[in-house]
Amino acid sequence: HRTVQPYGLLHGGVSVVLAETLGSCGAAYAAPAGHRAVGLDINANHLKGVTSGWVTGITRPVHIGRSTQVWQIELTNEAGELTCVSRITMAVLAPK
């Protein structure tokens, strides 16, 4: 009940939160020691509604550079159907 919108579908914002979390974790692990990865931009395309069950995600790097990273995130339902695709751009900040 906490993750659905009035029509009973998984709220799109929940999908974006999951995508951003996965992309941010990937970026943090890929950043050089001591560097921080922070979000610059995120977009999402909601392809199929989810009314019940678990949603899982896979994150893949598109670009890992010195100052930016781009990550592609694919969310799927329990049947393995693609429900959302997202792309996040991260800034890589040097230690202070």
Please give the pLDDT value at position 96. Answer: 87
Q: Is the pLDDT of residue 1 over 90?
A: no
**Phi/psi at 70 (nearest 5 deg)?**
-125, 135
Residue-range domains of the chain with CATH: 12-93 (3.10.129.10)
Please give the pLDDT value at position 75. Answer: 98
Q: How far apart are CA 84 and CA 69, in angstroms?
A: 20
Q: Can you read off the two tokens belonging to residue 70?
A: 């781009």
Q: Is the pLDDT of residue 92 over 90?
A: yes
**Closest to 24 in 3D by CA, of 67, 77, 61:** 61
In the annotation, is 74 catalytic? no
Residue 40 confidence class, pLDDT cut points 50, 70, 90: very high
* 93 close to 38: Cβ distance less than 8 angstroms: yes
The mean per-residue pLDDT over the stretch 24-39 comes to 97
The mean per-residue pLDDT over the stretch 9-31 comes to 98
Please give the pLDDT value at position 12. Answer: 96
DSSP 39-92: EEEEEEEE-S---SS--EEEEEEEEE-SSEEEEEEEEE-TT--EEEEEEEEEEE
The mean per-residue pLDDT over the stretch 10-25 comes to 98
For the full predicted model, state whether its pTM sits above 0.75: yes
